[in-house]
């Protein structure tokens, strides 16, 4: 009986929190989204290829929408930490509400990776794309990340747009918008054990770099058997070499990595593309454009030094009912 009451309380708390967020957000700024305000991000899609367009029929989830011709579009490069197939948290629900207001019955353009054989569809046949509202050029991924409702999650087959998305994410994080108010943070390596089995951003100083059977290990503690480690396979090491990067020389540098934490001699993160790494405390390089089609990806990134202007649309802070 006590367990049932506790579960009911948790469920009711989540419902109250969600409606409090929705009510506050609607009262403050929701009309601006439907009016195509200039404060919402636009993107430079020169590194991608426009592969189609269509009218949005429905919003399936924070990361999926369906067009009127039946195609299902998976938003490329964005992760919603409180969304899963089994459960959608308040920020995931708010993302769906915003997408519904922005996109339902709207014409959109689709931009995809230049490689037509890799990265355009997933195993379920969904089309992986960046989505732009045709009427005014509003970039859906950029908007959701800038509002603090999602975080950047690129892949080896879709690394494009990472710098532009990272700038929006950094702005939302510094402003403590949405998930960055309390739900998500950059983890120190000491806290990774408690987050095995989840996608995270982790930051720490590399204590040692080793090579075993051509597999690279970046160790963030004195004892590699139980401390946090980043691994890079022999195949993926070639991507870093193409960028002129030598991870064997990274010992002592502070590194920020984003990826899935699993367990292998302690918390472990397998990195399969350079765009998943950044050196946050080192001087930022000169501004550069996204990599053109067919060229190697840019080196592991420094923190974006040019943040977007502050947005007037700010999700409310969490409410404790």
Cβ contact 308:147 at 8 Å: no
Q: What does the pLDDT read at residue 226?
A: 86
CATH 2.40.50.90-classified regions of the chain: 29-180
pLDDT for the residue 106: 98
pLDDT of residue 10: 41
Residue 224: predicted pLDDT = 78
Least confident of 158-162, 174-178, 224-228: 224-228
Q: If you ran DSSP here, which 8-state letter would residue 234 be given?
A: H
For helices 90-103 and 2-34, the axis angle rounded to 10 degrees is 30
Name the segment(s) of the chain with CATH classification 2.40.50.140.
185-282
Nearest to 18 by CA among 77, 102, 90: 90
For residue range 207-228, list pLDDT tens digits in order: 999 999 999 999 999 887 889 9
Q: In whole angstroms, give the CA distance from residue 281 to residue 302.
A: 8
Q: What's the whole-model pTM score?
A: 0.79
Q: What per-residue confidence (pLDDT) applies to 284?
A: 54
CA 55, 98, 52 angle in degrees (round to 5)? Answer: 25
3-class DSSP state of 74: strand
Q: Averaged over 139-158, what is the pLDDT?
A: 97
Of 81-85, 237-241, 279-283, 307-311, least confident by mean pLDDT is: 307-311
- Note the CATH number of domain 29-180: 2.40.50.90
Please count the CA atoms within 13 angstroms of the CA of 237 that sit on its side-chain side: 16
**Residue 151 Cα distances to 5, 54, 144, 203, angstroms:** 34, 26, 9, 16
CATH 1.20.1740.10 fits 185-282, yes or no: no
Whether 54 has a pLDDT exceeding 60, the answer reads yes
The mean pLDDT of 116-139, rounded to a whole number, is: 96
58: which strand partners?
Answer: 66
Kindly tell me if the per-residue pLDDT of 5 is higher than 60.
no
Angle at CA of residue 220, ends 272 and 199, nearest 5°: 45
Which tokens hold the place of 187?
């983890």
């Amino acid at each position: 009986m006590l367990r049932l009451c506790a579960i009911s309380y948790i469920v009711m708390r989540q419902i109250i929190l969600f409606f409090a967020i929705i009510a506050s957000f609607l009262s403050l700024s929701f009309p601006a989204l439907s009016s195509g305000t200039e404060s919402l991000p636009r993107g430079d899609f020169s590194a991608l290829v426009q592969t189609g367009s269509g009218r949005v029929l429905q919003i399936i989830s924070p990361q999926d929408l369906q067009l009127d011709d039946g195609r299902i579009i998976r938003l490329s490069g964005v992760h919603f930490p409180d969304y899963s197939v089994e459960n959608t948290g308040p920020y995931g629900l708010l993302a769906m509400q915003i997408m519904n207001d922005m996109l339902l019955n709207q014409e959109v353009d689709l931009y995809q990776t230049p490689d037509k054989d890799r990265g355009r569809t997933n195993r379920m046949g969904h089309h992986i794309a960046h989505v732009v509202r045709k009427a005014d050029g509003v970039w859906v991924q950029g908007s959701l990340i800038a509002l603090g409702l999602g975080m950047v999650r690129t892949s080896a087959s879709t690394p494009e747009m990472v710098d532009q998305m990272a700038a929006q994410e950094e702005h939302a994080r510094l402003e403590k918008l949405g998930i960055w108010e309390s739900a998500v943070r950059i983890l120190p390596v000491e806290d990774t054990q408690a987050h095995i089995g989840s996608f995270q951003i982790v930051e720490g100083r590399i204590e040692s770099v080793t090579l075993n059977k051509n597999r690279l290990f970046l160790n963030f503690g004195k004892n590699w058997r139980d401390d946090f480690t980043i691994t890079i396979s022999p195949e993926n090491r070639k991507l870093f070499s193409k960028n002129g990067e030598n991870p064997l020389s990274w010992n002592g540098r502070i590194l920020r990595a984003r990826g899935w934490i699993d367990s292998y001699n302690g918390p472990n993160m397998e990195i399969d593309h350079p765009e998943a790494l950044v050196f946050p405390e080192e001087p930022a390089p000169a501004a550069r454009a996204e990599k053109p089609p067919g060229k190697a990806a840019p080196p592991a990134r420094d923190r974006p030094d040019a943040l977007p202007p502050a947005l007037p649309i700010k999700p409310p802070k969490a409410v404790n009912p």
